[in-house]
Amino acid sequence: MSERKKVLGVYGAASSHWVGDGFPVRTVFPTSGMEELSPFLMLDYAGPAHFGPSNRPRGVDEHPHRGFETVTISYQGSVDHRDSGGNSGTINPGDVQWMTAASGVVHEEKHGKEFTAKGGDFEMVQLWVNLPAAHKMSKPRYQALASASIPRVELGTGAYARIIAGELNGVKGPAKTFTPVNVFDVRLGANARGELSLPAGQNSAIVLLRGEVVVNGAATLKGTAQAAPLSTSGETVLLEAKAESLVLVLGGEPINEPVASYGPFVMNTQAELRQAFEDYRAGKMGRV
């Protein structure tokens, strides 16, 4: 019998704020009591929110990143992306964008044109994944992962996982990562249950976006924007849904290096942070 991971606590969102004029977000982590989940740096849950029709796209104007990756998962609504590497596209429901900023990217995120014109419900997640020092200044990379390219693993009646990154039950996700990372988009119907395997020795967490789930029979996550970090020991997690639930399961090998972060940059030292700001101001990260 595989050992189940222990639930180390249940934490609510740290803050609620707007990113630009298009993304009403709650920061699920870091929060008080749940500061460290390396290699994951931050998770923002945008929505669910309703937007009426508009004659201009809402969102965030061009801004820089260096030293990490942004992972955007769309559940409802759409986002148009453009960046200084010449990449562009629309993230629709079910799609994932995995952008490796690395040495530096400037990008813009706006509501999709059709969504802007018609309005509707908006719900997305943005996850920040750290890069080890050896890769922080590597060439930026852009992965547009269409919904159809993300495989699905059945967990039981009424429960399944979409494998965005990593591997579950021998099924591998399409995202290319620099360190071992698991990102599973899990859907559970009311009264459904599913068991997942996660490697021992890695940091991991269950993130409830909305619904109600019991984790390993020990802790209940209920409502919206809650997270439960798990022990590094053990290899399995049992999820039992008391209501229809939307869950992210995260796991990854920790990056045991210093972290120096400020705003859109995540490096290893303060000197590297200063250099990032200088390079951005000098136009070395390009323009959209």
pLDDT tens digit sequence for 200-217 = 999 999 999 999 999 999
Whole-angstrom CA distances from 69 to 23, 63, 100, 156 are 19, 14, 4, 32
The per-residue pLDDT for range 46-80, each reduced to its tens digit, is 999 999 999 999 999 999 999 999 999 999 999 99
Query: What is the amino acid identity at position 95?
Result: D
Where are any strands of DSSP class E within 146-202? Answer: 152-156, 159-165, 167-168, 171-172, 181-188, 193-197
Residue 48 lies in a domain: yes
CATH, residue 20 = 2.60.120.10
**Quick one: CA dihedral 106, 16, 181, 109, positive or negative?**
negative
Cα separation, 276 vs 270, in Å, equals 10
Q: Reduce the DSSP state of residue 273 to 3 states and report it.
A: helix
The per-residue pLDDT for range 73-114, each reduced to its tens digit, is 999 999 999 999 999 999 999 999 999 999 999 999 999 999
Which pLDDT does position 284 carry in this prediction?
96
Residue 2 lies in a domain: no
Which pLDDT does position 34 carry in this prediction?
86
Query: What is the amino acid identity at position 286?
Result: G
Q: Average pLDDT in the 163-179 region?
A: 98
Query: What is the amino acid identity at position 231?
Result: S
Residue 245 lies in a domain: yes
Mean predicted lDDT score pLDDT of the chain: 96
Residue 244 lies in a domain: yes
Which pLDDT does position 1 carry in this prediction?
62
The per-residue pLDDT for range 214-247, each reduced to its tens digit, is 999 989 999 999 999 999 999 999 999 999 999 9
Residue 262 has pLDDT above 70, yes or no: yes
Domain range spanning residue 40?
11-281
Q: Give the chain's domain count.
A: 1
Residue 39 has pLDDT above 90, yes or no: yes
Residue 29 lies in a domain: yes
Phi, psi of 252 (to 5 degrees): -170, 155
Residue 2 has pLDDT above 90, yes or no: no
Residue 6 lies in a domain: no
196-222 exposure pattern, b = at least 16 Cβ within 10 A, e = fewer? bebbeebbbbbbbbbbbbbbbeebbbe
Residue 14 has pLDDT above 90, yes or no: no
The per-residue pLDDT for range 105-150, each reduced to its tens digit, is 999 999 999 999 999 999 999 999 999 999 999 999 999 999 999 9
Could you tell me the maximum CA-CA distance found in the chain, to the nearest angstrom? Answer: 58
Using CB atoms within 10 A of its CB, is residue 92 exposed (0-12), middle (13-18) or buried (19+)?
middle
Cα separation, 247 vs 113, in Å, equals 28
Residue 230 lies in a domain: yes
